[in-house]
Amino acid sequence: MTIQNVIGWRPLLVLSVFWMSLMGGSTLVAQTETVTETKVVVEQTTTEVKEEAAKDGPSIELFTTNNLWMMIAAALVFIMHLGFASLEAGLTRSKNTVNILTKNLLVLAIGIVTYTFIGFNLMYPGFADGDSQFWLKFAGFGIGTDAAGVTSAYNVGYTYWTDFLFQAMFAATAATIVSGAVAERIKLSSFLIFTIPFVAIAYPVAGSWKWGNGWLNRLETPFYDFAGSTLVHSVGGWGALAGAIVLGPRLGKYLTNGKIRPILGHSMPLATIGVFLLWLGWFGFNGGSVLSADPGLVSLTLVTTTLAASAGALGATATSWLLIKKPDLTMILNGTLAGLVGITAGADQMTPNGSLLIGLIAGFLVVISVVALDRIKIDDPVGAISVHLICGIWGTLAVGLLGAKASSAQLWSQLIGVVAYGVFAFVFALVAFFIIKSFFGLRVSAEEESKGLDVGEHGLEAYPDFEGVSERLS
């Protein structure tokens, strides 16, 4: 018989805590004194660095304004994740809502944590001219900075911490895009496993090729992607395509007689709210990518972003009205997002008329793409592939066709970037999904899919009263 059996575990726990407090008391006092002394030294050092930075960099007022705008932009990009969750939940069936909301929350959490430990230093060590290659570079695990990192000595537009926060919001977006295309049939655990390498490795490595001054930024005419039509949206879109292919369609989507059975979303209001939130967040996504509060560039970027979104909605409305004979709201919502994705690569380079044209064509493309994917039996419940991949490619190529950088040389560089990112992201995601499928399984059972992932995966219902009534009526 052990001591725990005689006197119980609670008294032992109390005694243990009491003993540790006695033994650690003096150490804690010493550590507190040391920390206080260190804090004083750091504050003195930071003050000295700030004074030195003020001599060579922008005024403290301008630096503070720049940094504040970047933090606001990061918050706006954060809001986009609520938009993605709302849109995906609204465009799918009510019996899977809890699962979709869980995925979208955990993707953000996993994305931020993995980007902290690996992704940020994989994406932004910054390739230098003397490096032996410009494909892969790693600055070590975790994040941290010195006194200069919180002054304009780090960057005239933001501190090190603001830089990390803004980029971390972007990183999680790539995996969120994949979530929509694999909705209603993927195991939660398998999807979360996929998220880890995709955000920790695939997205940062791809991003470093341009934003980390890698090989695509060193072409004779550098590849250009202002805020991520390709680096974020197409990378996520290629992952979405790989996932949809490996998973296969939802049960009952494609009938044996060759007909396509529409599977309608359960809440158009929720989907519409999601798109409005995404549109709002895009002001931070594109506007923050100016990387300062430059009044001219930020205001131009917000105008081109808004015009492209509006034109995308109108383009999708007209196209769906012509093809489907009705103005399909789901197409209009995706057309709005298509315009936003399309303008993202060159939002700072386009004229108002150019941004309208980009959005209009994106709105047309997204409807055609949704219909075409259905015909080849690639099931994408929310249209993520059409919005982010197809229109991300279009927006990237548009930089070489329209705006300040338009030229044949720029168009060629844009094409090189599109192909390079496509091959890398698609192959990476395809291999990851196949490995996960082999070891853990990828798809829920047919019974679980029929009953809904909310009950099967979570033991919950998003609308218990409503669903209970529906079951009794059926």
Whole-number pLDDT of residue 23: 35
Whole-number pLDDT of residue 20: 33
d(CA 285, CA 344): 8
Q: Are 407 and 221 in contact (CB under 8 A)?
A: yes
Whole-number pLDDT of residue 48: 52
Q: Are 204 and 123 in contact (CB under 8 A)?
A: yes
Together in a domain, 135 and 86? yes
Note down the domain range covering 10: 3-47
For residue 56, is it within any domain? no
Angle made by CA atoms 32, 48, 290, in degrees to the nearest 5: 105
The span from the first CA to the last CA of the chain, in angstroms, equals 59
Together in a domain, 43 and 108? no
What angle, 0 to 180 degrees and rounded to 10, lies between the N-to-C axes of helices 391-401 and 408-439? Answer: 160
Together in a domain, 132 and 238? yes
Whole-number pLDDT of residue 160: 95
Number of domains forming the structure of the chain: 2
Least Cα distance to 414 among 370, 349, 360, 458 occurs for 349
d(CA 291, CA 156): 9
- The contacts of residue 262 (CB under 8 Å, 6+ apart) are none
pTM: 0.86
Residue pLDDT tens, the chain, 474 long: 333 343 343 333 333 333 333 333 433 333 334 334 434 434 444 455 455 555 567 889 999 999 999 999 999 999 999 999 999 999 999 999 999 999 999 999 999 999 999 999 999 988 988 888 899 999 999 999 999 999 999 999 999 999 999 999 999 888 899 999 999 999 999 999 999 999 999 999 999 999 999 999 999 999 999 999 999 999 999 999 999 999 999 999 999 888 999 999 999 999 999 999 999 999 999 999 999 999 999 999 999 999 999 999 999 999 999 998 999 999 999 999 999 999 999 999 999 999 999 999 999 999 999 999 999 999 999 999 999 999 999 999 999 999 999 999 999 999 999 999 999 999 999 999 999 999 999 999 999 999 999 999 999 899 987 755 444 433
List, in sequence order, every residue forming a beta bridge with 186; answer none if it has no partner. Answer: 443
Least Cα distance to 255 among 432, 412, 77, 374 occurs for 374
For residue 440, is it within any domain? yes
Whole-number pLDDT of residue 35: 38
Least Cα distance to 107 among 90, 86, 84 occurs for 84
Together in a domain, 367 and 307? yes
For residue 104, is it within any domain? yes
Least Cα distance to 157 among 249, 286, 294, 274 occurs for 294
Together in a domain, 43 and 71? no
| CATH assignment of the domain containing 448 | 1.10.3430.10
Together in a domain, 291 and 338? yes
For residue 54, is it within any domain? no
d(CA 61, CA 54): 10
Together in a domain, 170 and 37? no
Q: 208 vs 128, 185, 418, 432, 441, CA distance in Å?
A: 12, 33, 15, 21, 32
Residue 382: CA atoms inside 13 Å, Cβ hemisphere, count?
A: 36
For residue 60, is it within any domain? no
Least Cα distance to 313 among 280, 340, 295, 284 occurs for 340
Whole-number pLDDT of residue 40: 41
Angle made by CA atoms 443, 82, 459, in degrees to the nearest 5: 45
Together in a domain, 283 and 342? yes
* Other C-beta atoms lying within 10 Å of the C-beta of residue 261: 9
For residue 62, is it within any domain? no
Together in a domain, 10 and 80? no
For residue 257, is it within any domain? yes
Together in a domain, 41 and 182? no
For residue 55, is it within any domain? no
Three-state DSSP class for residue 212: coil
From the number of C-beta atoms within 10 Å of its C-beta (0-12, 13-18, 19+), residue 140 rates as: exposed
Together in a domain, 219 and 356? yes
Together in a domain, 94 and 43? no
* Other C-beta atoms lying within 10 Å of the C-beta of residue 466: 12
